[in-house]
Structures are given as C-alpha cells and as structure tokens.
Amino acid sequence: GAGVSQSPRYKVAKRGQDVALRCDPISGHVSLFWYQQALGQGPEFLTYFQNEAQLDKSGLPSDRFFAERPEGSVSTLKIQRTQQEDSAVYLCASSLTASGNTIYFGEGSWLTVV
Amino acid sequence: AQKVTQAQTEISVVEKEDVTLDCVYETRDTTYYLFWYKQPPSGELVFLIRRNSFDEQNEISGRYSWNFQKSTSSFNFTITASQVVDSAVYFCALSPANTGNQFYFGTGTSLTVIP
C-alpha cells in the first residue's frame, strides 16, 4: 500500500479484555516497529522486526504484550488482560532496511481501557 | 545513554512570524541519525528530515530549515513565515547506528500558529 495502515483506529476495551492491533506496513519494507505513545509524550519503542524475525522486544512493558509478524509483512500487537495504564496510542512504523533509514508511521491505534 | 531533549513544551506564534524549535541530543555513538517529525491532530507522525552525524550542512526546504551543530549536540528546526497549517506537535528523534534502527524521541513541542 501507499502508506502504513493500522486497524482499528480506535478501540475501547474493558479492563481484563484482550486486544489485537493490526499493522500493514509499506509494501517492500523489511523492518517494522511498534511504538507506544502516551498522552503528551513522545513515542516509546516497544519492539522491532526484520522480516519475520523479532530482533528486539526490549521495550515491551510486560509479558502481557506480544507481537508477531509471521510472514514478514502484516504484524499484530496483542495485549492480554488489558489494564488502564495500557491506554495509549500504539504506532506502527516501517522502513526499507535497518540502521539509519527513515521510518514511516501509520496513524496509530488509539486504545482506551475502561 | 541515548536521550533527546525538547525543552519547549508549547509555543504560540502569530501567523507569518518565524519560529525555532530546539532539540538537544545525547549519545556516545559516533554514527547516528537525527530526524524531525510533525504530528498533526490526526495522529500520524509525518517525516520531515533525516540527517546523519557526518553531515553538518544546514538544510533548507521551502519555509523549513534545520541547523545541525555537533559542537553543541543540537539540531534545531526553524519555520519561516509560519502558517496556521504548521500548527502541530513536532518531535525530534535520534537513531544511533548500532541500535538496529531504534529511535529515541523527545517529548515534543506543541506549536500553535494564531491567525
């Protein structure tokens, strides 16, 4: 596609519910990233894929967060047993390759946990 | 440690004024990349510019210009003759070459251009 596409754009989840956020990167982009952005803050790194390999997941805040990219294209970020502190915008980004390349962001998935 | 500081939280200017957004970074890496992104209310981060650590030439693109100074670890962004459409949150980011393309963002500067 022309840009990074994310769905759903908005999600309201009840505390304890599981959610899945989808990211469709720019076609041909090898690297894919997930970031979390709290209100009034800059994006914080969660995890990074190169093709289907998850090379860095150091930013995932807890074991309730899980990301996958099984075929090296579309990625899903799953949050289990959501908590109120998980409320944030989840941004997906992609780039052609690694190291120093510009990353292009989607519009984000706005998650509110009530 | 990798860190980006945007000391200006909010700035308001009147249309047609020039405005400079400050960015100071910290890194021990010798090879790194610096970026500016614009985030309008829709939420998408829009790429504006990328510089590598070996290129200190200033750059101008239309009303936008960037001043990169390694001596002061700064990468400031100036908008000339601001317009209402420039109203957004602007983020500076650092990506050291050895971190697998991980980006470190500042907390952003919210710019409001008053008509």
pLDDT in tens, B57-87: 888 889 999 999 999 999 999 999 999 999 9
pLDDT at B1: 83
Residue B57: the pLDDT is 83
Q: Which residues of chain B have pLDDT under 70?
A: 100
Which has the higher per-residue pLDDT, A35 or B59?
A35
Kindly list the residues from chain B whose CB atom is less than 8 angstroms away from the CB atom of residue A35.
Answer: 103
Q: Which residues of A touch B91 (CB under 8 A)?
A: 42-43
The alpha carbon torsion through A108, B106, B9, B84 (nearest 10 deg) reads -50
Q: What is the pLDDT of residue B87?
A: 96
pLDDT, tens digit, for every residue of A71-91?
A: 999 999 999 999 999 999 999
Nearest-angstrom CA–CA distance, A87 and A96: 30
Task: Compute how many other C-beta atoms are within 10 angstroms of the C-beta atom of residue B57.
Answer: 7
Percentage, residues of chain B above pLDDT 90 = 78
User: For residue A42, which residues of chain B lie inside 8 Å, CB to CB?
Assistant: 4, 91, 93, 105-108
Q: Is B64 on the interface with A (CB under 8 A)?
A: no
- The DSSP result for A5-61, as a single string, is EEE-SEEEE-TT--EEEEEE--TT--EEEEEEE-TTS--EEEEEEETTEEEE-TT--
Residue in chain B closest to A99 (alpha carbons) equals B101
Query: pLDDT digits over A40-54, tens only?
Result: 899 999 999 999 999
Tell me if B105 and A44 make a contact (CB, 8 A cut-off).
yes
Do residues A80 and A64 make contact, with C-beta atoms less than 8 angstroms apart? yes
pLDDT value at A1 more than 60: no
pLDDT score of A100: 65
CA gap A26, A28 in Å, rounded = 6
The answer to whether the Cβ–Cβ distance between B43 and A89 falls below 8 Å is yes
Q: Are strands B10-14 and B109-114 parallel, antiparallel or unpaired?
A: parallel
